[in-house]
Every structure is written in structure tokens, then in C-alpha cells.
Amino acid sequence: MRTEGYMIVLKPAILLDRYAGSHVAQQNLEPLRKLRDAFSQFDIRRYRGISRDPLLAYPSLDQKVIDDFEAAGKDMKSDAKAQKRFREILGDVPCDPEINEEALASLSDAREILALTDEPSIWEIIHVVRGNDRSVGTFLGYDVGYWGGDHFSLISDTIIVPQWHPPVPDDFAELTEALSCLNGNLLFNSSADAIAFKKFYKSKSWAETEDCEGEFCVIKVSTGG
């Protein structure tokens, strides 16, 4: 199982601008306004964690598979060159969240793919490590969430870009206190703080639940070097 790698993710401002225009945000304008007001002390445009719509590889190099995805309404034109090269580098790997298909093994590969995107300036490369192992680049902090899959982040889904399990107003004050140790990148400075927040989060009835123990893992995030 790969425990580290490089991801290509949207810069925070781009992520938030896209979220503001999304269906989920537009359909929940008043609840979102109340949430933003409640957590206004956090500058959400500084979030540098894992849940920033990472660039994905094409599902396959088989054109028929691509055509089927397109026929189903998926956008297969945006960043097509980058996604195709991404799949070429990854090869055919099983669909397993433990593998983390969005994490490339080398920085040079990540840079090559970034250069092939339609707008390289809206993306950034980050280095991610599962657990508390070594890191490269400049340390940004610890996030908590899925290692693979859609890179769901507990921090992001509560106060950055809530999608599935936003906090209820009765818990706003307690959540603010629980997140009070976030650093300037809206990440935790220590794995101990990240673990403590995970315990707090899992105690809430509105929170996402783990399908298996340890699905929410601590992830060290650094710049791409």
C-alpha cells in the first residue's frame, strides 16, 4: 500500500469560487450564510488540505470506456491531455481507496501532468503522507479524512466546502472550540491534535461515519517541494 505521494489539487480560492456556484451551495444559501457567519474567524481561503477537487486520471485508456463516461454526462474534455497522461503513468490499477489513485509516486511526474492541464495556474502540487512519516517540501499541517477515493476531509466538510454532513447550529460553538488549534493553513500542527478532532467529530450525530475503523486517517500535507 502506498503511504505517500504527490497530488495535484485546486488552489483554495479556485475551489471556493467553484463551490459557491455549485448546486449544493446554491440550494442552501441561507444555511451556508449562517455557517459562514458562525465560523468567520477562520479564513477559509487559506485551506491547504486534501479535499480540493484533486485532478483525476482518465478511468481507462480504452476510448470506448471514455465514450461511455461522456455519454453518461461526465466531462471528459477538460484537462484531457493531463488526465490521459496521468492514466498512462499510473497504468491499470484496481479501484481500491487504499491505493490512492490521485497520488503520484514522483514529483517529476506530477510536474509533467500539471503542465498538461488546461490552466496550470489554478492548480498546485502537494505532498501527502499517510500517518506521521517523513515529508518533503514545506510542512503545511495535518488533515483528517479518506486516504483515497474522493479525499473527503473532516475539516473541509464542516467549515470549508460542506457537502454531505455540515454541522448543526447547536454545535457551532463547540466545533469552533474544537477547531481553535488550526494553523494558518486551516490544518492541524500535530497529529495528536488531528486525532483529538477525529474523536470529537465521530461523537457527533450529524457527522459522516466510517465504514471500517481507521477509514478517517491522519494525513500529513506539505508543499510539493
- Rounded Cα distance between 2 and 104, Å, is 10
For helices 107-116 and 80-90, the axis angle rounded to 10 degrees is 150
Say how far apart CA 54 and CA 145 lie, in whole Å: 14
**Between vectors from CA 118 to CA 143 and to CA 161, what angle results, nearest 5°?**
30
Bridge partners of residue 219, in order along the sequence: 130, 143
Contact 29, 23 (CB under 8 A): no
The DSSP H or E segment spanning 194 is helix 191-202
CA separation (Å) from 93 to 18, 31, 62, 90, 173?
30, 40, 14, 7, 44
What does the pLDDT read at residue 13?
97
| The pLDDT value given to residue 136 | 81
Beta carbons within 8 Å of 198's beta carbon, 6+ residues apart: 144, 154, 216, 218
Range of the domain at 154: 4-223
pLDDT of the residue at 199? 97
- Contact between 50 and 151 under an 8 Å Cβ cutoff? The reply is yes
Each residue's pLDDT, cut to its tens digit, for the chain (225 residues) gives 578 999 999 999 999 999 999 999 999 999 999 999 999 999 999 999 999 999 999 988 888 999 999 999 999 999 999 999 999 998 875 554 445 566 899 999 999 999 999 999 999 999 999 876 676 889 999 999 999 877 899 999 999 999 988 999 999 999 999 999 999 999 999 999 999 999 999 999 999 999 888 899 999 999 986
12 φ/ψ angles, rounded to the nearest 5 degrees: -55, -45
Q: Which is it for the CA torsion 188, 191, 175, 32, positive or negative? A: positive
Confidence at residue 175, expressed as pLDDT on a 0 to 100 scale? 98
- Contacts from 20-28 at CB under 8 Å and sequence distance 24+? 24/163
Q: What's the pLDDT tens digit per position in 8-47?
A: 999 999 999 999 999 999 999 999 999 999 999 999 999 9
CB 48 within 8 A of CB 185: yes
Q: State how far the alpha carbon of 44 is from the alpha carbons of 70, 155, 163, in Å.
A: 33, 10, 15
Q: Is the pTM above the cut of 0.75? A: yes
Number of domains in the chain: 1
CA distance 124 to 116: 13
pLDDT at residue number 124: 97
pLDDT tens for residues 85-100? 999 998 875 554 445 5
Residue 108 is predicted with a pLDDT of: 96
